[in-house]
Structure 1
Amino acid sequence: MSKVLVIGAGGVGSVAVHKMAMNSNIFSDITLASRRIEKCDATAESVKARTGVTIATAQVDADDIDATAALIARVQPKLVVNLALPYQDLAIMEACLKTGVHYMDTANYEPRDEAKFEYHWQWAYQDRFREAGLTALLGSGFDPGVTSVFATYLKKHYLDTIETLDILDCNGGDHGQHFATNFNPEINIREVTAVARHWENGAWVETPPLSHKQSFDFEQVGVKNMYLMYHEELESLKTHLPEIRRIRFWMTFGDAYLKHLEVLQNVGMTRIDPVLYEGKEIIPLQFLKAVLPEPASLGVTTKGKTNIGDIATGTKDGVQKTFYIWNVCDHEEAYAETGNQAVSYTTGVPAMIGAAMLLTGAWGGAGVFNMEQFDPDPFMAMLNEHGLPWQVKELDAPLAF
């Protein structure tokens, strides 16, 4: 049994600590910390009511390395699970190095002043974590995270090599709002409005945001339009599975969401550079975040399902084959279990499982690692056991697009 410190009390943090409390044989002591301790306390009350487990709470500014290190020193966890904002990844990694504690997150670092999603900032910590004898596990959410493990599971059990890989992320849920995002609005909109990139024949191919659309029939959701985007697991998978010739990421969006987003872009509300308003500098996107519905508040009204998976084409014993592996998650079932909708659930559960992999010794090592560098089997087994069951089937042919 091990102590764990979770930093970040949004929907993902809430799901993660609920699921950790349900696995007290692994997580003996849980502390949830955030800049706003009242959010931690509300989650702690929910955890107590739903599971009977008492978790500790704390207040911390995760941008402050010394303050975070002081909290780590006080809590004495074996692992810090970073579920805060991606901007804070490096500061929390520094605090872990300062205190000699293992580190894990669900999303790669990005600078506040540029929507740039790359791993090089965190990969640069490889030598420092290795020399300290510490593990840093990057991207233990769903995408990135489960989608990377899906790929290595297919390669281990179904394919000798993977030549093309498509990651398909569909949220078929309806929250009843005219416009809202199912996770942090600032991060969501930065991601969606960034230049699309995919890896093909040894080089990055860039296209304008949301300019490449395809339709796909998602099981238990139906036919949805999905758009080519960049996502950080493309960078790590093409690095650690170098035989991949092409890798792409697709996400579904409804017409109403895209129309609202277009208007917001046209009037400058998605800008991430400061503007002067009444003598003060504000970031338009951060102001927009403040007036949009809080994602954690959407769980009570959200209905429908998510469907996220990988389609991989490669060879097995010299014969070309295509396999599809995916998970379907129900928003209402996720809310009934943890008080959070499925988008938070599908990230928070893998965060708990990734932490379990490190705490039990199923995964480990000195250095900085991505999910696909470890044995997929124990992680895949826990997905089935803890609310995210998956399916795999062979397709008749590769994707036609």
Structure 2
Amino acid sequence: MKHVLIIGAGGVGSVVTHKCAQARDIFSKITLASRREEKCKAIAAQIDYPIETAQVDADNVEETVALLKRIKPDLVLNVALPYQDLPLMDACLEAGIDYLDTANYEPPETAKFEYSWQWAYQDRFKKKGLMALLGSGFDPGVTNVFTAWIAKHELDEIHELDIIDANAGDHGQPFATNFNPEINIREVTAKGRFWENGDWQETDPLSVNKSFDFPAGIGPKQIYLMYHEELESLVKNFPSIQRARFWMTFSDNYLKHLEVLQNVGMTRIDPVMFEGKEIIPLQFLKALLPDPASLGPLTKGKTCIGCVAKGTKDGKEKTVYVYNICDHEACYKEVKSQAISYTTGVPAMIGALMMLTGTWRGEGVFNMEEFDPDPFMDALNKYGLPWNVTTL
């Protein structure tokens, strides 16, 4: 009998709640909390299982601690914004509750994400006998587990790693982001960064691209080099990696709109004065763009996310590709969300399941690849994200 508190009622929070309700033998009690409780109630109404709801400001440690002490969950599953990771970790420490998130901390005032802030909590969680699992989404998350599985079963040493994320879906909107617009645009407009020969290399945003031929009928797409947080933990935990890169697809239409928005200053994250008030242009833009949760019934096509790893097996060179194909329309039919939310929400639920069943346990702060990948890989097949492996 385990009680999970899900914080965040966006597209991912909705998927997580649906999927936890499907695994009710593990998640015997589910509470969904957000700044706006009416969003939680709307999600709960879609599910044929009792979901309790609550209001909480995840930036307010005191308020969150009060909620935790009142409802006494076994785990906090954080699918709020990355800005709120540290306040929620602080609240979990004070209340004595385990913690899980899907994306690492990002300070609101700087478009920069790295694990240093959360890794700094290691001793505090260990001292309290608590566990924090970081980045239990798809990328980061499943891609970390894919890498660990490759290292366990397919390659004795990984020398090169390419994480490749394609959204081949179409929502028919002139310009919209498939997850939180503010986080999405901050991420895409940041400098590219990759690991090579023991150091980080930087590139101008989206300046490096190439074609990649995706499976399942998706075909060739342009992929663009970006920085993504899982690279930081993977090169730390797999020191044989000599080069690690992250790539993502973007349509020409998306890139055209983004360029114009950048040129007119709408992607700025510093305050500007407007009619005597300070506003942040990117936050104003977010208010104008479609809510990602509204794209579910509109989106058709597939996603393909996976890892191409090159290394050696029994002294011979070998390249392995492990990937998942996810269909937007099938996701909407199952949980009323498109595949971007689905591919993040399902691994968040599985990570929570790993923790609550004791399959993955430890004291301190952990990244996904630090545990046995096999039970997680089995759960992906069981709960809606089946994977494939091929030798290139």
Q: TM-score range by the shorter chain?
A: over 0.9
Q: Which residue number corresponds to residue 399 of structure 1? A: none
CA distance in 1, matches of 2:156, 2:177: 39
User: What secondary structure, in the 3-state scheme, does the structure 2 residue paired with 1:299 have?
Assistant: helix
Of residues 274, 279, 283, the one that matches 2:280 is 283
Encode CA deviations 1:173-222: one digit per residue, 9 max, x unaligned.
00000000000000000000001000000000000000001111111212
User: What secondary structure, in the 3-state scheme, does the structure 1 residue paired with 2:298 have?
Assistant: coil
Q: Which residue number corresponds to residue 388 of structure 1? A: 385
Of residues 48, 62, 83, the one that matches 1:87 is 83
Q: Which residue number corresponds to residue 355 of structure 2? A: 358
User: What secondary structure, in the 3-state scheme, does the structure 1 residue paired with 2:385 have?
Assistant: coil
CA distance in 2, matches of 1:108, 1:126: 14
Whether 1:156 and 2:142 are equivalent positions in the alignment is no
Deviation at 1:68, TM superposition (A): 0.5
Whether 1:209 and 2:239 are equivalent positions in the alignment is no
CA distance in 2, matches of 1:44, 1:229: 36
Q: Which residue number corresponds to residue 136 of structure 2? A: 140
TM-score by length of 1: 0.97
Whether 1:167 and 2:163 are equivalent positions in the alignment is yes
Deviation at 1:252, TM superposition (A): 0.2
One-letter amino acid matched to 2:245: R
Return structure 1 stretches of 4+ with deviation > 6 angstroms: none
Deviation at 1:17, TM superposition (A): 0.7
Stretches of structure 1 that go unaligned for 5 or more consecutive residues are 396-401
Whether 1:372 and 2:369 are equivalent positions in the alignment is yes
Deviation at 1:105, TM superposition (A): 0.1
Alignment of 1:88-103 (within 5 A): 88-103=84-99
Whether 1:104 and 2:100 are equivalent positions in the alignment is yes
Q: Which residue number corresponds to residue 255 of structure 2? A: 258
CA distance in 2, matches of 1:6, 1:43: 12
Deviation at 1:53, TM superposition (A): 0.5
User: What secondary structure, in the 3-state scheme, does the structure 1 residue paired with 2:18 have?
Assistant: helix
Of residues 116, 120, 123, the one that matches 2:112 is 116
Q: Which residue number corresponds to residue 242 of structure 1? A: 239
Q: Which residue number corresponds to residue 7 of structure 1? A: 7
Count of residues paired in the alignment: 391
CA distance in 1, matches of 2:121, 2:69: 21
Whether 1:62 and 2:58 are equivalent positions in the alignment is yes
Q: Which residue number corresponds to residue 127 of structure 1? A: 123
Measured on the aligned residues, the alpha-carbon RMSD in Å equals 0.5
Q: Which residue number corresponds to residue 226 of structure 2? A: 229
CA distance in 1, matches of 2:158, 2:90: 35
CA distance in 1, matches of 2:152, 2:28: 33
Encode CA deviations 1:331-354: one digit per residue, 9 max, x unaligned.
000000000000000000000000
Identity in percent: 69
One-letter amino acid matched to 1:24: R
